[in-house]
Amino acid sequence: MKQQFSLQKSPHTILIISMRYLGDVLLTTPLIRSFKKAYPDSNIDVLVYSHTASMLEGNPDIREVVTTVQHPNFTDTIILFKKIFRKYNLCIVTQTGDRRFLYGLISASNRIGFVPPRPEKGWWKRFFTQGWIEFDNIENHTILEFLKLSSILNVPSLYDLVPPKSEKFLAPANFNITENYAVLHVHPQWRYKQWHNQGWIEIGEYLQSRELKIILSGGPSEDEKVYIHQIQKKLPKNTLNLAGKISLANLSHIISHAKLFIGPDTGITHLAAATGTQVIALFGPSNPVKWAPWPINYHLNQNPFITKGSQHINNVFLVQGEGSCVPCYQEGCDKHRLSKSECLEKLTSKKVIEYIDLALKINTATI
């Protein structure tokens, strides 16, 4: 269900609230671009968590990235309230959570956003927004779901993601952008999305046999850096580990010049797809209809990927784990984020290497 809404005049200021993970923030950028195209004279701000703001670096459609901490105390909340209170003509809320709803309520007199379907908890929020649409968490790709918000105001949808970009690329030590290299992102945020170490080691050896240097990407947390370092020790000696050492914008630049990117269902894999590089995405329990990386130059208002099976569209190769239960939509076999996923444990490097060969063949053909 949906409630349409019409503005009496073009909004001068717009706030878009996207308070979730890095990947979700990136997947909001087509919505941001759609509104900037429809209202080119408007000033668009985006409210995100502090640790995800880097995903919007250099975005030309945004005036300001407004940040708050993920778990604000009373002082944090008051500071944010003062910053956004009635500062906007229009607020767009991209999640259904109570805190996002409250921020939207205080920031603008005109609000559109998602609401839970009846009779789920929070369905009443529709009475406090001028335009709303019931949130679908299964049947639509996240980008297409976000773009439903533009339809409330009859704003035409644009489908291209906008990766972060720095004014000046700062090359890390021992890196040469003219080299032939592949980027591997071996550590997802949650254990249930993780592929087995032996698989990464075997494809690392194969990539070396194809004369590709290996670059490891990763975040700054100590646990992640330790995990990546342990894998690095079993990879070719010239492997370059960039975990926690560069910005997202610089990583985006590095990935954009890679021959290949391989990663699990995580925000950096979405980022890699947005750069146009050939991407191999390793999927297990996750729903590819909703969470598959968005292929470059895909401009259709329909899901790029189907639920079952390994698939290829434009620059994205989606390699699905093994098992009749795949995808189960659960957080691993034990149904919590720290559990293993048998479908990914059974995914062999041989299957991934088949897609590596195909991606490299396509890459060579386009040079």
d(CA 85, CA 27): 26
Whether 2-152 and 181-366 share one fold: the answer is yes
Read off the pLDDT of residues 228-256 as tens digits, 9 standing for 90 and up: 999 999 999 999 999 999 999 999 999 99
Short-list 58, 1, 48, 41, CA closest to 22: 48
Local structure of 219: helix, strand or coil: coil
Read off the pLDDT of residues 9-63 as tens digits, 9 standing for 90 and up: 899 999 999 999 999 999 999 999 999 999 999 999 999 999 999 999 999 999 9
Q: What's residue 174's pLDDT? A: 86
Give this prediction's pTM. Answer: 0.94
Local structure of 178: helix, strand or coil: coil
Homologous superfamily of 2-152: Glycogen Phosphorylase B; (3.40.50.2000)
Q: Domain map of the chain by residue range?
A: 2-152, 181-366
Q: What's residue 367's pLDDT? A: 45
Contact 35/49 with Cβ under 8 angstroms?
A: no
- Residue numbers in the chain where pLDDT is lower than 70: 364-367
Class of domain 181-366: alpha beta
